[in-house]
Structure 1
Amino acid sequence: MSVARVTEISATSPQSFEDAVTKGIERASETLRNVTSAWVKEQRVKVGNGKISEYQVNLMVTFVLDD
C-alpha cells in the first residue's frame, strides 16, 4: 500500500502556460521525491501595455510518501 500527498505550487513563465507547467514540475521534482502527477488548478496571465507579460499556473502536485 502507498500513501500520497498533494501540495499546491505556483509557477510562472514569460513564454506560455505549457512552459510554466514544465518549470513548475521540474522545480517541484528537485525538492519532492516520487512526484507522480500534477493537476492544473488555475491559469492566469499578467497584462502590461495591452499584451501578455507573464503566464501563471497553480498546480496541485501529487507525490508518493516513502515507506
Structure 2
Amino acid sequence: MSVLKVIELLASSAVSWEDASQKAITKASKSLKNIKSVYIKDQSAAVAEGKISEYRVTLKVTFELE
C-alpha cells in the first residue's frame, strides 16, 4: 500500500507561468523524493508600468511517502 502526501507551493518567474512551475518542481525535487504529479491551482501576475513583471503560480505537489 502506498501513502501519498500533497503540499502547496508558491513560485514566481520573470519569464512565464511554465518557467515558474518548473522552478518550483526543480527546487522541490532537491528535498522531496517520489514526486508523482503537480496540479496548477492558480496563476496570477504582477504588473509594473503596464507590463507583466512577474508570473506567479500556486501548485499542489503530490509525492509518495517512503
| TM score, norm. by length of structure 2 | 0.98
**RMSD of the TM alignment (CA)?**
0.5
Which structure 1 residue ranges, 5 or more long, are not aligned? none
Cα offsets for 1:37-64 (capped at 9, x unmatched): 1000000000000000000000000000
Runs of 4+ in 1 over 3 A off after TM superposition: none
Unaligned residue ranges in structure 2 (runs of 5+): none
* Aligned counterpart, 1:59: 59
Question: TM-score under structure 1 normalisation?
Answer: 0.96
In the TM superposition, residue 33 of structure 1 has moved relative to its aligned partner by 0.9
The 5 Å alignment of 1:40-59 reads 40-59=40-59
Q: Give the alignment of 1:1-67 within 5 angstroms.
A: 1-66=1-66
Identity within the alignment, %: 50
